[in-house]
Amino acid sequence: MSSHNRSNSLVSPAFGEWLRQLREQKGELLREVAATAEMDVAHLSKIELGQRTPTEKQALKLARFFGVPSKEMQARWIAERFRSNYGNYPAAQEAIEILAEEAGIYRSKRSR
């Protein structure tokens, strides 16, 4: 999903946008953050632009660097991987609803 489709303020930003916001709020340069996560600057830049996703290990290093709970980072990382792998599938939204129903946090119209 591209960032121009995310105008609703209740929708959290894509992983890369969120990461860039964290970096900018902390006043860090790309090179400093990239070194912490053991990746090159170009890779981190592509992550921030939504063109790549970090490895799980890199994401957890970023969580420590930014002081984000590892569970939150992992959840956002999983969501981004889902978005990049399945976001263009017509059934992606339904798949999310199925998972949410199974977790007991959502009740779809079809199950009422």
* pLDDT tens per residue, range 55-99: 999 999 999 999 999 999 999 999 999 988 998 999 999 999 999
Delimit the domains of the chain by residue range. 12-111
* Assigned CATH class of 12-111: mainly alpha
> Are the C-beta atoms of residues 60 and 73 closer than 8 Å to each other?
yes
- pTM recorded for the entire structure: 0.77
Share of the chain above pLDDT 90, in %: 72
Region of poorest pLDDT, from 10-19, 36-45, 73-82, 103-112: 103-112
In which element (H, E) is residue 69 found?
Answer: none
Q: How distant, in Å, are the alpha carbons of 7, 33, 84, 107 from that of 1?
A: 12, 25, 8, 24
Residue 7 sits at φ, ψ, to 5 deg, of: -75, -20
Q: How distant, in Å, are the alpha carbons of 11, 19, 76 from that of 35?
A: 30, 15, 21
